[in-house]
Structure 1
Amino acid sequence: MRILLVEDDRQLAEGLKQSLKMEGFAVDLVENGKDALHATVVAECDMVILDLGLPDIDGIDVLKTIRKQKKTIPVLVLTARDSTQDKILGLDYGADDYLVKPFEPSELFARLRVFERRLGTASSSLIEIGQVCLDTASHSVVLDGEQVDASRREYMVLKALMENSGRIQSREQLESKLYEWGEEIASNVIEVHIHNLRKKLPPQFIKTIRGVGYSVNKA
């Protein structure tokens, strides 16, 4: 999953970005409302983490505009504004969730997993297809009860495929879930990840739809 993080506190933003990457998210960071609104139009993202105290545009106005642009993208407000009225205002203007700073990262990650389940096909942190079980809470892959040794990017590719089981994911779609703006991407990087995963998973678990992309069929 690809997150747009809108946060003007550079130290907090960089720390949060690294933590989210460790949780298996691709993260694009902007520091003001203008760039946030531009990003939601031109860039592909699956969810937004939005600070309200931005230097140029109030976060509530950013939220209202996002809702006009993309009515269904999940938005989690992450802010120091902790009054009941602020929370009501944020939720009324379209936030899907509201978390007050300071916060426990584990709570933020749990709330983002709820967004992931809503966007994908899983109803819990466990996604089980055939002999393969992927746990989005522990970032682990298990095959027939045995842990599979997968790199972070291999895990992210497999998660994207299993969350969208029965639906074809193009190379471009998979790249967008793994890499951030400005990262150099080798032309065959997805093919390499798929090749490595196939050596660790049952034969034909990941199918190639020639000229289109890849898919994992529902069990």
Structure 2
Amino acid sequence: MRLLLVEDSDRLTELMKETVHGAGWRIDAVSTAEDARNALKNSEHDLLVLDIGLPDGNGLDLLREIREADTDLPVLIVTAMGDVDSRIAGLDAGADDYLAKPFHHREFLARCRALARRSGSGTTPVLTAGHLRYDPATASLSCDGTAIQLPPRERQLAELLMREVDRVVSKRRLETALSEFDEILSTNALELAVSRLRKKFAEVPAGAVIETVRGIGYMLRTVG
């Protein structure tokens, strides 16, 4: 799952990035409504996490724009304005859920998962390849029922390759999908992630191997 966070607090942004990465999801973070408009226009996201008080305007105005454009992107408002009137205003403007600051990171993740289930984003289908099983709803990878522990980037790479099992995925597509606005994934970083994931699959064994298609990209191929 890929989130877009619109939040002008640097400290909270870093904390939420850590939380989202720990869940195995990706996150793009911007601090203004204008940057959010550009992000929504140029990238695909599964969930928008929106603060109301932004440097260049009210987050509710941005939310109304999104709904007027007839998009069904799930929106979670995260704000310090937690009174009843503010909650009602946010929900009436088109938010799917509302979370008042301060909040516990586990509750934040639970609300994100609930919105993903409600919209169908990032939850279906459970992916399989060889002996591997990946559940996007929980970002969990297993082999024959045994959990495989991976760092977030390698877990995301496994998901991307398993979505296209037995088909070639280009390097450019993988680099773009694994990048975030403040960190563009380099070719070397992608190759290192592939190497580590390939080694982990061989150790299990996974019943699937990552093949390099020279000059194009990579393919997860089922074997045996």
Q: Determine if the TM-score, normalized by the shorter chain, exceeds 0.5.
A: yes
- Structure 2 distance, partners of 1:164, 1:87, is 41
Q: Which residue of 2 aligns with 1:10?
A: 10
Worse overlay, 57-66 or 208-217: 208-217
Letter in 1 for 2:16: L
Q: Which runs of 5+ in 1 are unaligned?
A: none
Pick closer, same or farther for the CA change 1:149–1:27 going to 2, 3 Å.
closer
Once the 2 structures are TM-superposed, how far is the Cα of residue 91 of structure 1 from its aligned partner? 2.1
- Structure 2 SS opposite 1:122: coil
Q: Which residue of 2 aligns with 1:84?
A: 84
Alignment of 1:22-37 (within 5 A): 22-37=22-37
Question: Identity of paired residues, percent?
Answer: 37
- Structure 1 SS opposite 2:77: strand
Within the alignment, does 1:203 sit opposite 2:207 as a pair? yes
| TM-score (ref. length: structure 2) | 0.75
Pick closer, same or farther for the CA change 1:133–1:112 going to 2, 3 Å.
same
Once the 2 structures are TM-superposed, how far is the Cα of residue 82 of structure 1 from its aligned partner? 2.0
Letter in 1 for 2:175: E
Question: Which of these residues, 113, 121, 124, is aligned with residue 122 of structure 1?
Answer: 124
Worse overlay, 78-87 or 159-168: 159-168
- Structure 1 distance, partners of 2:127, 2:16, is 29
CA offsets, 1:190-217, max 9 Å, x none? 4553454344443347688995875789
- Structure 2 distance, partners of 1:107, 1:171, is 35
Alignment of 1:61-210 (within 5 A): 61-69=61-69, 71-117=71-117, 118-122=120-124, 127=126, 129=128, 131-134=131-134, 139-162=139-162, 171-187=171-187, 189-190=189-190, 192-201=192-201, 202-204=206-208
Worse overlay, 203-212 or 88-97: 203-212
CA offsets, 1:89-123, max 9 Å, x none? 32232212211111111011112223444213527
User: RMSD between aligned alpha carbons?
Assistant: 3.4
Once the 2 structures are TM-superposed, how far is the Cα of residue 150 of structure 1 from its aligned partner? 2.5
Q: Is the 8 A contact 2:123 2:137 kept in 1?
A: no
Q: Which has the higher strand share?
A: 2
CA offsets, 1:153-174, max 9 Å, x none? 1111223455688998654444
- Structure 2 SS opposite 1:37: helix
Alignment of 1:15-54 (within 5 A): 15-54=15-54
Letter in 1 for 2:42: V
Worse overlay, 64-73 or 202-211: 202-211
Letter in 2 for 1:21: H
Pick closer, same or farther for the CA change 1:50–1:22 going to 2, 3 Å.
same
CA offsets, 1:59-102, max 9 Å, x none? 11011112234602221111122233322332232212211111
- Structure 1 distance, partners of 2:213, 2:32, is 41
- Structure 2 SS opposite 1:119: coil
Q: Is the 8 A contact 1:32 1:56 kept in 2?
A: yes
| TM-score (ref. length: structure 1) | 0.76
Q: Aligned pairs, how many?
A: 214
- Structure 1 SS opposite 2:57: coil
- Structure 1 SS opposite 2:61: helix
Pick closer, same or farther for the CA change 1:169–1:10 going to 2, 3 Å.
same
Pick closer, same or farther for the CA change 1:128–1:75 going to 2, 3 Å.
same
Q: Is the 8 A contact 1:7 1:32 kept in 2?
A: yes
